[in-house]
Amino acid sequence: MFWAVTLAGVWRLGLGLGLATTTALLVGLVVGALPPVGSALGPLVTAIAVIPPIALLPILFIVFGLGEVAKVALIVIGVAPFMVRDVAGHIGSLPREQVVKALTLGANSWGVVLRVALPQALPRLFEALRLSLGPAWVFLISAEAIAADVGLGYRIFLVRRYLAMDVIIPYVAWIALLAVVMDLALSNGSRRLFGWAHAGAR
C-alpha cells in the first residue's frame, strides 16, 4: 500500500508540474518578450493567479469528474500562473541592449525570443519550478483528501479519523523527504545544464 499510494501521488504531481512548466515556458516567453502580447495576456494571467486554487476544486470536480483530470488540473491552475508571471517578469527585465544587438544582427521578433529570451528563461524556469513544489504538494494532498481512493493525501486523511499518529507522521515525513529530493534534483540539474547562470552564486 505504501508504494502504491506514493506512486499515485508522485505521478499526479509530476504530470501537473510538467504541464504547468510547459505552459509557463511557452506563455511566459511570449508575454515577456513580445510587449503587445504581454499587454493583452498579462491582465488575464494576473486575474487567474489571484484566485485561490482550492476554491476552484469543486468546479473542477463538477466539470471534469472525480477522476485524475481534476486533480492534475488543480496543480496546473495552482502553480502555472505564478510560473508564467515569474518567467515573463524575468524576460521583461533583460537588458534592452541585448534585444537591440539581436535586431541589429538581423533577428526578427521570434529570433529574439528563441536566441535571446529562451536561453535565459530556462534557468529561471527551474527556479520557479523549485518554488512551486511546496504549493503543488498542498494542492495534490487537498485533491486526494477530497476525492481519491489511492494517494498520499487519501491515506493520511483516511487514518486521521482513528488518530493514527503512527501512520500519519511517517507519511508526512515521507512527503517532506520526497519534496527535498525533488528540490535537490532540480537545483543540481539547473547547475549542470546552466552553469553559466550560476557562475556568480556561492
Report the distance separating Cα 40 and Cα 31, nearest Å. 9
Task: Judge whether 100 lies within some domain.
Answer: yes
Task: Judge whether 113 lies within some domain.
Answer: yes
Q: Residue 158 — pLDDT band, cuts 50, 70, 90?
A: confident
Task: Judge whether 81 lies within some domain.
Answer: yes
3-state secondary structure of 151: coil
Task: Judge whether 55 lies within some domain.
Answer: yes
Least confident range from 26-30, 41-45, 175-179: namely 41-45
Burial of 168 (0-12, 13-18, 19+ CB in 10 A): middle
Q: 201 phi and psi, to 5 degrees? A: -85, 150
Task: Judge whether 56 lies within some domain.
Answer: yes
Amino acid at site 77: I
Say what the pLDDT of residue 166 is.
81
Q: Give me the domain span that covers residue 108.
A: 2-197
Say what the pLDDT of residue 22 is.
95
Task: Judge whether 202 lies within some domain.
Answer: no
What is the number of structural domains in the chain? 1
Report the distance separating Cα 98 and Cα 117, nearest Å. 9
Q: Which residues contact 40 (CB under 8 A, 6 or more apart)?
A: none
Q: Which three cell numbers stand for residue 51?
A: 484566485
Task: Judge whether 99 lies within some domain.
Answer: yes
pLDDT digits (tens, 9 = 90+) for 82-137: 999 999 888 888 777 777 677 677 767 677 777 788 888 899 999 999 999 999 99
Q: Is the pLDDT of residue 200 over 70?
A: no
Task: Judge whether 35 lies within some domain.
Answer: yes
Q: Is the pLDDT of residue 201 over 60?
A: no
Calculate the average pLDDT of the chain. 86
Task: Kindly report the CATH number assigned to the domain that includes residue 109.
Answer: 1.10.3720.10
Q: How much of the chain, in percent, has pLDDT values that exceed 70?
A: 96
- pTM for this entry: 0.87
